[in-house]
A and B are shown apart, each in its own frame.
Chain A
Amino acid sequence: MKKEGLTGSLIAISIGLVFGLVIMVIANPFQAIPGFFTMIGGWLIHPDFLRRVGDLFYIAGPLIMTGLSVGFAFKTGLFNIGATGQYTMGMFAGIYVGVYGDFFGPTQWIFAFLAAIVFGALWGLIPGLLKAYFNIHEVIASIMLNYIAMYTVNMWVQTNPTLFNVQFAKTVTIDANAYLPTTFLRDIFARSGIDIGILLAIGFSLLMYFVLEKTTFGYELKSVGSNRFASKYAGIKENRSLILSMTIAGALAGIGGALYFLSRGSINSGNQYPVANELMSAGFDGIAVALLAQSNPVATIFSALFISFIQRGGFFMQTLGIKIEIIDVIVAAIIYSSAMSMLAKDKLTSFLKKWRTKA
Chain B
Amino acid sequence: MKPAKRPIIDMQHITKVFPGIVANDDISLSLMEGEIHALLGENGAGKSTLMSVLFGLYTPEGGQIKKYDDVIQIKDPNDANRYGIGMVHQHFKLVEVFTVLDNILLGAEPMENALFIDRKKAKEDIVALSNRYKLKIDVDAKIEDISVGMQQRVEILKMLYRKNNILIFDEPTAVLTPQEIEELMKILNDLKNEGKSILFISHKLNEIMAISDRVTVLRKGKAVGTFITKETTPKALSTLMVGRDITFEVAKTPVTIGDAQLELSHLSYISPRTKKALLNDVSFSVRSGEIVGIAGIEGNGQSELAYLIAGLLHPSDGHIHLKGQDISHRSVRYRNDAGLAHIPEDRHKYGLILDDPLFSNLSMKKYHKEPFQKNGILNKKASLELAESLIHSFDVRSGQGIYSLTRSLSGGNQQKAIIAREIDTNSDVMLAVQLTRGLDVGAIEYIHQHMLRQREEGKAILMISLELDEIMKLSDRILVMYNGQIVAELKPKQTTKEEIGLYMAGGHPS
Contacts and interface: CB of A to CB of B under 8 A. Distances in A.
Contact of B364 (A214, A229, A230, A237): A230
B331 A237 contact: yes
28 contacts: A214-B378, A215-B376, A215-B377, A215-B378, A216-B373, A217-B376, A219-B360, A219-B378, A223-B356, A226-B355, A227-B349, A227-B352, A227-B354, A229-B350, A230-B349, A230-B352, A231-B353, A232-B332, A233-B332, A233-B350, A233-B351, A234-B332, A234-B336, A234-B364, A234-B365, A235-B331, A235-B368, A236-B333
B153 interface: no
A254 B459 CA distance: 52
Contacts of B364: 223, 230, 234
Contacts of A226: 353-356
B367 interface: yes
Contacts, number: 62
A334 to B, nearest CB: 30
Nearest to A224: B353
Interface in A219-258: 219, 223, 226-227, 229-237
Given A215-B378, A216-B376, A217-B376, A235 B350 contact: no
A135 to B, nearest CB: 13
B214 interface: no
A217 B337 CA distance: 18
A235 B351 contact: no
Given A216-B377, A232-B332, 15 more contacts: A216-B376, A217-B376, A219-B360, A223-B356, A226-B354, A227-B349, A227-B352, A227-B354, A227-B355, A230-B353, A232-B312, A233-B342, A233-B350, A235-B331, A235-B368
Contacts of A232: 312, 332, 350
Contacts of B356: 223, 226
B310 interface: yes
Interface residues of B, number: 28
Contact of B336 (A216, A229, A235, A237): A235
Interface in A196-229: 214-217, 219, 223, 226-227, 229
Q: Which 4 A-B pairs have the closest CB atoms?
A: A235-B333, A233-B350, A227-B353, A235-B332
Contacts of A215: 376-378
B438 interface: no
Interface in B241-270: none
Interface in B308-324: 310, 312
B344 interface: yes
B313 to A, nearest CB: 11
Contacts of B334: 235
Interface string B418-462: 000000000000000000000000000000000000000000000
Nearest to A210: B377
A229 B368 contact: no
A236 B360 CA distance: 14
B459 to A, nearest CB: 20
Contacts of B336: 234-235
Nearest to A236: B333
B222 to A, nearest CB: 28
Given A216-B367, A219-B367, A233 B378 contact: no
Contacts of A231: 353
Interface of B: 310, 312, 331-337, 342, 344, 349-356, 360, 364-365, 367-368, 373, 376-378
Given A216-B367, A235-B331, A230 B376 contact: no
Count chain A CB atoms within 10 A of each CB in B310, B334, B342, B376 and give the residue with the most: B376
A243 B206 CA distance: 51
B383 to A, nearest CB: 10
B350 A230 contact: yes
Contacts of B331: 235, 237
A234 B425 CA distance: 12
A209 B349 CA distance: 28
A234 B334 CA distance: 11
B29 to A, nearest CB: 31
B337 to A, nearest CB: 8
Contacts of A219: 360, 367, 378
A214 B353 contact: no
Contacts of A227: 349, 352-355
A231 B354 CA distance: 12
Count chain B CB atoms within 10 A of each CB in A214, A217, A227, A234 and give the residue with the most: A234
Contacts of B312: 232-233
Contacts of B367: 216, 219
A231 B378 CA distance: 17
Given A216-B367, A234-B364, A223 B378 contact: no
Contacts of B373: 216
Contacts of A229: 349-350
A226 B361 CA distance: 12
A308 to B, nearest CB: 32
A235 B376 contact: no
Contacts of A233: 310, 312, 332, 342, 344, 350-351
Nearest to B383: A219
Count chain A CB atoms within 10 A of each CB in B344, B352, B353, B354 and give the residue with the most: B353
B483 to A, nearest CB: 26
Count chain B CB atoms within 10 A of each CB in A217, A232, A233 and give the residue with the most: A233
B497 to A, nearest CB: 32
Contact of A223 (B310, B333, B342, B353): B353
Contacts of A217: 376
A190 to B, nearest CB: 42
Nearest to B365: A234
Contacts of B376: 215-217
A148 B116 CA distance: 45
A341 B175 CA distance: 40
A214 B377 contact: yes
Contacts of A214: 377-378
A214 B312 CA distance: 28
Contacts of B350: 229-230, 232-233
Contacts of B377: 214-216
Nearest to A235: B333
Interface in A111-134: none
Nearest to B372: A216
B285 to A, nearest CB: 24
Nearest to A211: B376
A235 B365 CA distance: 8
A348 B8 CA distance: 41
Nearest to A218: B378
A165 B357 CA distance: 56
Contacts of A237: 331, 333
B139 to A, nearest CB: 33
Contacts of B368: 216, 235
